[in-house]
Structure 1
């Protein structure tokens, strides 16, 4: 598998975080020296056919836009130019592409969303648009022109029901990227990219949940866990006034009561922390779990590991750690696990930093405690980690 490293002569992480991150766009010439595409156009088309993969073909001809959701098996109907194939989360379905995310781990793992890969014919693009996430776009084969403007109040248009574009942005940055070049575009900056030749681009996106998404997660969590069940109470009869209900009029006292009820829900820090950790440790794309043919027992997990050379991480699995009242917890796909001792913390940290597979010898050398063995057994039985010879259930 190829290894990708940012060119330190072209990209200084500290300088970037201080001066550019979420502040302004930036072109980084030769961010990757001797860049070699980790995936070909044919391989990308193959990934787009796999179950659960989100892909689109976007085309434009004479100002008319079209979008077709994948899987697309036949591209012969498309012209020689003016279209793009975009495939989401390629890192989760094509292991060699995972290596292209590694250079960006100077940012928190929980911020990383996915690696989107696009193949474009000459003139291919998706039109001028806004993204609500930060993105690094790496130029693979070919050349692509990028135009970027400043944040502002732009008119949204939908030339296709599933395609949002904007009108009226003026390019303040207009550059052509060559293989190995990279562009950083913060959230909210209008931009448009157009391929000048047949080309492949790699977009590493970083998620940032909106207030609406956080509140939605809070509501879902409350409904699932019977939380936030305190209900509104009328103030009529509970004060010294002689006020009577006035029909269908919603008065200030009632509104204040509802507002306070909502504020109280948002003042429960313990509950909010649980919701945030659950949300950020879940992949919105369901991970591809692989369960063992027979459940593994804690007493037999070492013998189980000795039978196989490695454990694979389930595709799309997300993990993080957090501290609550001085206790370290690990979260996997929204599930919380108490890491009760140093051994279980060591195990979780090792698995957290292993993004594809881990040699079972590395696990057996840890001298795992009973708590750690129990944790590992549960992970295997949950399908989070599986032996490489197992078939998907």
Structure 2
């Protein structure tokens, strides 16, 4: 299927008004958010993709409820080869991170760049038969649901405390769901659902849906990232120290050891102060958070060269190859740290202070699966640009190749000659 350009209909959607009035506040429906919407993938291609190694997929199905009983739900993890077992209605195939495995689908995410790149997690694609769905549930992240082929009804309820239960060990649903919004989506329509709003959907006919999931790190993830950075850099080594007030009574003239096994609130406050001191260095905290946001939660599979590339030998290697390939799922961001401009790729930092290095970074960022090497060569007069490309080649995140021929051994051959 040819690559398609997806542009939000500016007559139906205004990014400023959306962020001001709806973003993380309340659901909204964007009718014909995409005009003349064309599916980037067909049901057959989606089923084929779900068979490939490393692709996360599942089929959720339900049997009609008997009178007075809830439906019987089932979930089968992929790969699934025989869909006839599920019948002709009441089931959905869901495939995660389709944008990372099927390049044409990446174009759909570009339409949502009114939000920062690091905010966008992945594109989940689902194919549902009539009455197919996954039941009422909660998501802890914001989501845009784009209707492709077919029609689907969505119901959204208010934020509240709901009882979570599992009709299948791998399927979470909620009880007590009552919708205050019900909408039928047609191709090109978009439904935005903020985190924490319960929702349920079912197809009226065979349908494709595209769910743009937004990334929102938790406090635990952020603290873990800062701790990992500190351990990697051998930082935050200050140890706990007692204060006299922790060991003496209020008057300060007697030991406070009547209950030596008891941990007081004062001691906890001392520990809390020690933890908070870890956040005093703005640059260290920034580096840890940027590292986290530059990494894909689904790490790409690198293809390392057998011998490392060098900056001096790069021009020779480039003469032997036609294209530059990008590993599936590479995340790339940029930031400023200590007055320098950096590209950060899967936690790897590269200075891009000059125009050529920055331009090359943008080219590599915007590419989907591969580009012609001639698009890169004009920028490689810059040492920083060469270091950026060499670094990513040596990390196995990008790969030199010849058009129509993928052979990692040939990369190693070119390097071993230097």
1:171: Cα distance to partner? 1.2
Match of 1:53 among 52, 55, 71: 55
Alpha-carbon offset, residue 319 of structure 1:
0.7
Residue matched to 1:86: 94
Q: Note the C-alpha offset of 1:45.
A: 1.4
Quote the residue 1:355 is aligned against.
Answer: 368
Query: Post-superposition shift, 1:293?
Result: 5.4
Q: 1:341 aligns with which of 339, 354, 358?
A: 354
> Which stretch shifts more, 352-361 or 1-10?
352-361
Q: What's the secondary structure of 1:101's corresponding residue?
A: helix
The residue aligned with 1:365 is 378
- In structure 1, the partner of 2:162 is 154
User: How far off is 1:5 after superposition?
Assistant: 1.7
Corresponding residue for residue 280 of structure 2 = 267
Unaligned residue ranges in structure 2 (runs of 5+): 66-70, 410-418
Partner of residue 278, structure 1: 291
Aligned residues: 393
Q: Distance in 1 between matches of 2:18 and 2:266?
A: 51
The 2-side partners of 1:48 and 1:392 are apart by: 25
Counterpart residue number, 1:65: 73
2:133 is equivalent to residue 136 of structure 1: no
Whether 2:208 is the aligned partner of 1:200: answer yes
Give the Cα–Cα distance (whole angstroms) in 2 for the partners of residues 335 and 345 of structure 1.
15
| Cα distance between partner residues in 1 of 2:376 and 2:328 | 20
Give a deviation string over 1:130-173, Cα, whole Å, max 9, x none: 11111111111111000011111212111112111112232111
The equivalent of 1:33 in structure 2 is 35
Query: Which moves more between the two structures, 86-95 or 18-27?
Result: 18-27
The Cα of 1:356 is off from its aligned counterpart by 3.2
Matches within 5 A, 1:217-366: 217-235=225-243, 240-245=252-257, 246-292=259-305, 294-366=307-379
1:391 aligns with 2:393: no
In 1: Cα distance, 2:315 partner to 2:180 partner: 60
More off after superposition, 233-242 vs 269-278:
233-242
Structure 1 segments, 4+ long, off by >4 Å, are: 236-240
Query: Is the Cα contact below 8 Å between 1:290 and 1:391 reproduced in 2?
Result: no
Secondary structure at the aligned position of 1:258 is classed as: helix
Does the 8 Å contact 2:40/2:105 carry over to 1? yes
Q: Which of 164, 176, 179 in structure 1 is aligned with 2:172?
A: 164
Q: Which moved more, 1:215-224 or 1:197-206?
A: 215-224
SS in 2 for 1:266: coil
Instruction: Render the CA deviation track for 1:1-27: whole Å, top value 9, x for unaligned.
Output: 122221222222222222222222111
Partner of 2:103: 95
Identify which of 186, 189, 194 aligns with 2:197.
189
Residues of 1 paired with 2:407 and 2:11: CA distance?
45
Asked if the contact 2:357/2:379 (under 8 Å) is kept, the reply is no
- Change in CA separation of 1:293 and 1:216 when aligned onto 2, cut-off 3 Å: closer
Asked if 1 retains the 8 angstrom alpha-carbon contact of 2:50 and 2:78, the reply is yes
Matched, 1:124 2:140: no
State the SS of the aligned residue for 2:111.
helix
* 2:227 partner SS: helix
Give the secondary-structure state (helix, strand or coil) at the position aligned to 1:331: strand
**How far did residue 340 of structure 1 move?**
4.3
Residues 1:7 and 1:234: Cα distance change in structure 2 (over 3 Å): same
Distance 1:146 1:117 in 2: 16
Please give the TM-score of this superposition, normalised by the length of structure 2. Answer: 0.88
CA–CA distance in structure 1, aligned partners of residues 80 and 233 of structure 2: 41
Unaligned 5+ runs, structure 1: none
More off after superposition, 342-351 vs 46-55:
342-351
SS at match of 1:365: helix
RMSD of aligned residue pairs (Cα, Å) = 2.0
How many angstroms apart in 1 are the aligned matches of 2:165 and 2:225? Answer: 29
How far apart in 1 are the matches of 2:363 and 2:23? 29
Q: Distance in 1 between matches of 2:300 and 2:377?
A: 26
